[in-house]
């Protein structure tokens, strides 16, 4: 079965909730080490970013991964020096971003300039009733699209990202609960959108070392 069909079936049918994360190994990008350190960067002034970052972080915690959490403002994510400092701090692992579209473009472009690849990106549209997700995975020909309730315990995006960065089997039990889920507070007047993504930062540092050696 092709990776695209496998992932679509898992996400569309809600099967990601109870499935062992190891079952997704064949469908997620290769070259990521188990137990790698992860840095979650959420834009602190972006509505609902805390809720989504909390869900993702909970899944990573449940999988036994080491997680660092940063909460910069949007203006910091628009400054070259700030973003480069974040990338340097997250090297040799993975960076998960939760931010607006403009900030996501800046971070991904600067990461690419350092040789770091974005392996998954998801656009999230939050409304009163649900969160619509459109996910692009490196190597897949089409996007994965699904919706979750604003207070859904499924945490499918967290499970998917935990698999992408760790390939490890999650520990038993549910991911760590978010104390106050901002998604559940959404209403029609405050509909919002945000972007989340996973960058493999393992090449940051190695590229510069090789350049220095060549020089």
The whole-number average pLDDT for the span 171-185 is 45
Rounded alpha-carbon distances, angstroms, from residue 116 to 82, 112, 200, 202: 17, 5, 6, 7
CA distance 200 to 103: 18
Phi, psi (deg, nearest 5) at residue 13: -90, 0
Model confidence, pTM: 0.74
Look at residue 14 and tell me whether its pLDDT is greater than 60.
no
Quote the pLDDT of residue 153. Answer: 54
Beta strands in 10-70 (DSSP E): 38-42, 67-70
Q: How confident is the model at residue 208 (pLDDT cuts 50, 70, 90)?
A: very low
- Report residue 194's pLDDT band, with 50, 70 and 90 as the boundaries: very high
Residue 152 pLDDT class (50, 70, 90 cuts): low
Handedness of CA 89, 94, 97, 101 (dihedral sign): positive
Structure tokens at 176: 């760590």
Q: Using alpha carbons, list the distances in angstroms from residue 141 to 7, 87, 89, 147, 214.
A: 12, 28, 32, 20, 37
- For the chain, what are the domain ranges? 3-11+35-214
Average pLDDT for the chain: 74
Radius of gyration of the chain, Cα coordinates, nearest whole angstrom:
17
Tell me what pLDDT residue 129 has.
80
């Amino acid at each position: 079965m092709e990776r695209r069909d496998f992932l679509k079936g898992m996400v569309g049918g809600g099967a990601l909730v109870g499935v062992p994360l190891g079952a997704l190994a064949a469908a997620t990008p290769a070259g990521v080490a188990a137990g790698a350190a992860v840095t979650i960067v959420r834009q602190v002034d972006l509505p609902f970013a805390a809720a989504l970052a909390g869900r993702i972080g909970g899944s990573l915690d449940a999988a036994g991964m080491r997680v660092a959490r940063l909460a910069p403002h949007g203006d910091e994510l628009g400054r070259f020096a700030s973003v480069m400092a974040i990338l340097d701090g997250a090297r040799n692992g993975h960076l998960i971003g939760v931010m607006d579209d403009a900030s996501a473009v800046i971070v991904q472009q600067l990461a690419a300039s350092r040789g770091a690849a974005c392996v998954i990106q998801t656009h999230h549209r939050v409304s009163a009733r649900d969160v619509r997700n459109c996910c692009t995975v490196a190597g897949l020909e089409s996007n994965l699209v699904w919706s979750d309730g604003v207070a859904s315990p499924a945490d499918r995006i967290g499970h998917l990202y935990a698999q992408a960065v760790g390939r490890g089997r999650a520990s038993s039990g549910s991911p760590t609960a978010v104390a106050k889920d901002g998604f559940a507070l959404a209403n029609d007047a405050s509909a919002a959108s945000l972007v989340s993504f996973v960058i493999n930062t393992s090449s940051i540092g190695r590229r510069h070392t090789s350049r220095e050696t060549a020089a």
